[in-house]
Amino acid sequence: MDSRGKRATLQTVADAVGVSRTTVSNAYGRPDQLNKDLRERIFEAARRLGYSGPDATARSLRRGRAGAIGLVFTETLSYAFADPYSVGFLRGVAEVAEASGTGLLLIPMPPAGGGDSETAVRNAVVDGFCLYCVPKGHPAKELIRARGLPLVTTDESDDPSIPYVGIDERASARLAGEHIARLGHRRVAVMVDHVVGPGVSGPASLDEQLASDCADLRGRLAGYRDALEEAGVDWSSVRVVAAGRNSRSASASAAAHFLDVAERPTAVLAIGDVLALGVLDACEQRGLAVGRDISVAGFDDVPEAGRARLTTVRQPMGEKGRLAGRLLLEPPEEEKVPRIKLPTELVVRATTGPAPH
């Protein structure tokens, strides 16, 4: 506040120091234009008057660049730093942002959108957005397009106008399914994180799973089904179980639906490594020798998968993040919209073996 009790402004500071508004503005935005003593006098006057600096939003609009990219995802903020796959992807985006001197704004949204999260997307001071694990039809996409900002997605959609970086989910999952089938497994269970909506656990039908808006889930389930049906497995006999959320403990609990039955499956395919690790925990609790009594395969190849010797499908998490970041910060000049599919590979380790007789 100034001496009259009014909120301090750029002009207030300029009057106190005896310089122009432009000089005060340069002290914050173009410090190389002023000598050190003058800058310190301006900052000292600003502190005394309670002036915090020019409005960041207005300054970025004048420059025509915000110096940040927004990452929208439909999970909690804490989940982004706890899930190993998310951490790998975020690290890739952050590496590109850091190299270009750009900030990264994380915007968590509910799966159905709405509320303060939509306001955050409307008001975010960013140069572009990356949609990470955002389901088809989510309102975030239209909110961003209404702003006219660049947009990249990691979920393959039917909209060819949006740049995309991802993998062939169906073909990648098929690699794991074919591996299990070649080992002679015909009694198979599949562990997923949720049915159509989050928080639902227990047995589920394929129709319920394929009705999900999550492209990753639909693609991986379809790949498992393709491989097993080609090997002569009736998909209706496959136990599909939802853990309720993507957590190791939830998966270990949900595994009871297929481990504590008379006709226990000889193999389990999980749509992610975290869920597969939970199944390993459940098998250990029951004294089952994984790779001999029962086989388990995951998807992603997160760091813990290697330590657990888990058979899994490896996808380039960090590279996916780096490419998404580059498409936003360095968009290609050609008119064709980039649709990038990265390679994957099956990594066979100790958790899979021949079906027991």
Please check whether residues 157 and 173 belong to one and the same domain: no
Specify whether the CB–CB gap between 352 and 311 falls below 8 A. yes
For position 121, what pLDDT does the model report?
86
Please check whether residues 27 and 154 belong to one and the same domain: no
Please check whether residues 74 and 197 belong to one and the same domain: no
Q: How far apart are the first and last CA of the chain?
A: 82
Q: What values do phi and psi take at 171, rounded to 5?
A: -65, -35
Task: Compute the distance between CA of residue 58 and CA of residue 64 in angstroms, rounded to an integer.
Answer: 10
Using a cut of 0.85, tell me whether the model's pTM lies above it.
Answer: no
Q: What percent of the chain has pLDDT over 70?
A: 87
Amino acid at 60: S
CATH number, residue 38 = 1.10.260.40
For position 310, what pLDDT does the model report?
98
Please check whether residues 325 and 337 belong to one and the same domain: yes
CATH number, residue 102 = 3.40.50.2300
Helix (H, G, I), strand (E, B) or coil at 335: coil
Residue stretches of the chain with pLDDT short of 70:
1-6, 29, 52-64, 112-116, 158, 195-213
Please check whether residues 311 and 205 belong to one and the same domain: yes
The continuous run of DSSP H or E covering 103 comes out as strand 103-108
The domain total for the chain is 3
Domain that holds residue 30: 10-54
Question: Sign of torsion, CA 220 217 90 65?
Answer: positive
Is 273 a domain residue?
A: yes
Structure tokens at 57: 């939003």
Please check whether residues 100 and 41 belong to one and the same domain: no
For position 2, what pLDDT does the model report?
47
Task: Compute the distance between CA of residue 71 and CA of residue 73 in angstroms, rounded to an integer.
Answer: 7
Task: Compute the distance between CA of residue 357 and CA of residue 352 in angstroms, rounded to an integer.
Answer: 15
Please check whether residues 76 and 181 belong to one and the same domain: no
For position 199, what pLDDT does the model report?
45
Radius of gyration of the chain (CA): 26
Beta strands in the chain (DSSP E): 68-73, 103-108, 129-132, 151-153, 164-167, 188-192, 202-204, 239-242, 267-270, 295-300, 311-314, 339-342, 345-347
Task: Compute the distance between CA of residue 189 and CA of residue 265 in angstroms, rounded to an integer.
Answer: 6
Please check whether residues 162 and 173 belong to one and the same domain: no
Is 221 a domain residue?
A: yes
Is 133 a domain residue?
A: yes
